[in-house]
Amino acid sequence: MSTDVPVTGEPPPPATAWSRLRALGAQVAFPVGLFLFSRLALLLIARVSLVLDDRLHRPPYRSVGPVGLEAFCRWDCGWYSEIAQQGYTRPQATNFFPLLPLLGRLVRDVTGLSTEVSLVVVANIAGLLALVVLHRLFRELEGEDAARTALLLFTAYPFAFFHSAGYPESWMVFLTALAVALSLRGRHWSAGLTLGVAGLSRHLSLVAGLSLFFQQLRSRGGGVRALWHRDLLALLLPLLLTSLYFLYLWRTFGDPQLWWKVRASGWDGAWAGLGHWLRGNWAPEVSVYVAASFIPGAGALLLARHRRWWTLAAFAIPLMLVLWTVGLVGLGRYSAAVWPAFLPLGAWLSRQPALRGPVVLGFALFQGMLVFLFVHSYPIN
């Protein structure tokens, strides 16, 4: 019998760079794998469908150039492409915020890719980063199985393909998720700075400031005394950074509110809400947007059930209310950016193994149909 006495209480050996790299790889393997699989599937759908039939629903009526990433630059992507190439030369373009075209122009200048492809590449970079951040955040709140299921639902949601297109929604998701994650870790100034950059992608990102405000109060126990803390000044950063765009509009066009005023230039439908939908005669696709929006809408409301989800609820519930009020024509892609709503849905579905496969597959098939319509320039926007 050995007389050796096991030594307890000794610190573990220091981690090597290789072991840290392996641990990081294990953590990001699922979101990275999901990103690669989903994007390859979307690209395959676009390529095959346009090879079989290259007719587009609107001018130029024929698909031009090689069938690839450029197929994901349709509709509003044209506005971002114009801004990336020419800057803000038309007042109507000011309704589209500057982060995506700025990054797209940078990628174009560095790589030599076309502007359209560069915008799609930039959007997909944010899509990858968003999945990595969401996976870690969801796992910390609900565990690995619920996090994976939530990520599957989020990626397969019918309108989530807009995170692969030349649109800013993927940057809104990535940056708001990162801001909330930083706030949950007590890094309030970093969270405010991150949310400020998010505001330059889409102004609706600023609704996440409610989450940052709630988390600050919650971390200090609430009450009036929690309102008197220097970290609350970090909540001014999103407003200040986003205001840089308004300052640019003032210097360029003489009107910092121009982006808001041009909404009346033929885009009334984009600012309509559910009330207008109930009273009006809208195109069939708008009814699809409305029906699909109740999926993240239900998930947003479910966030109120558990205290550990309340920080996410402070973002998701107000955002859904805003979208239902003024986001009718874009409600499909807008609702796909309400990422907190997929956590309670994923947590529930992870406990229903018999339903998980059919639900995710049904979502994915519906998304594939919408991608077909989108790349052929049907009015899916």
- The predicted-structure confidence for 316-336, as pLDDT tens digits, reads as follows 999 999 999 998 999 999 999
pTM of the full structure: 0.92
Q: What is the pLDDT of residue 266?
A: 67
Give me 165's structure tokens.
């297109």
Q: What is the pLDDT of residue 281?
A: 85
| Residue 138 contacts residue 150 (beta carbons within 8 Å) | yes
Question: What is the arithmetic mean of pLDDT over 72-96?
Answer: 93
- For residue 55, the cross-strand partners are 62
pLDDT band of 10, cuts 50, 70, 90: low
Of the candidates 333, 302, 330, the one whose C-alpha atom is nearest the C-alpha of residue 316 is 302
Window from 200-204, 221-225, 367-371 with minimum mean pLDDT: 221-225
Indicate the DSSP class of residue 355: H
Q: What is the pLDDT of residue 268?
A: 66
What mean pLDDT, rounded, does the chain reach? 91
| Residue 131 contacts residue 35 (beta carbons within 8 Å) | yes
Q: How far is CA 196 from the centre of its chain?
A: 15
pLDDT in tens, 251-310: 999 999 998 888 767 666 677 899 989 988 898 999 999 999 999 999 999 999 999 999
> What's the angle, vertex CA 198, arms to CA 192 and CA 202, rounded to 5?
140
pLDDT band of 11, cuts 50, 70, 90: low
Window from 102-111, 169-178, 233-242, 273-282 with minimum mean pLDDT: 273-282
Q: Residue 208 and residue 214: Cα distance in Å, rounded?
A: 10
Say which residue the tokens 């803000």 belong to. 88
Burial code of 3-41, b = ≥16 C-beta within 10 A, e = fewer?
eeeeeeeeeeeeeeeeeeeeeeeeeeebbeebbeebbeb
Q: What is the pLDDT of residue 183?
A: 96
pLDDT band of 4, cuts 50, 70, 90: very low
Is the peptide bond between 11 and the residue preceding it cis, with omega within 30 degrees of 0?
Answer: no
Question: Is the model's pLDDT at 33 over the cut of 90?
Answer: yes
pLDDT band of 9, cuts 50, 70, 90: low
Q: Residue 157 and residue 167: Cα distance in Å, rounded?
A: 16
| Residue 303 contacts residue 313 (beta carbons within 8 Å) | yes
Indicate the DSSP class of residue 65: S
Burial code of 235-251, b = ≥16 C-beta within 10 A, e = fewer?
bebbeebbeebbeebee
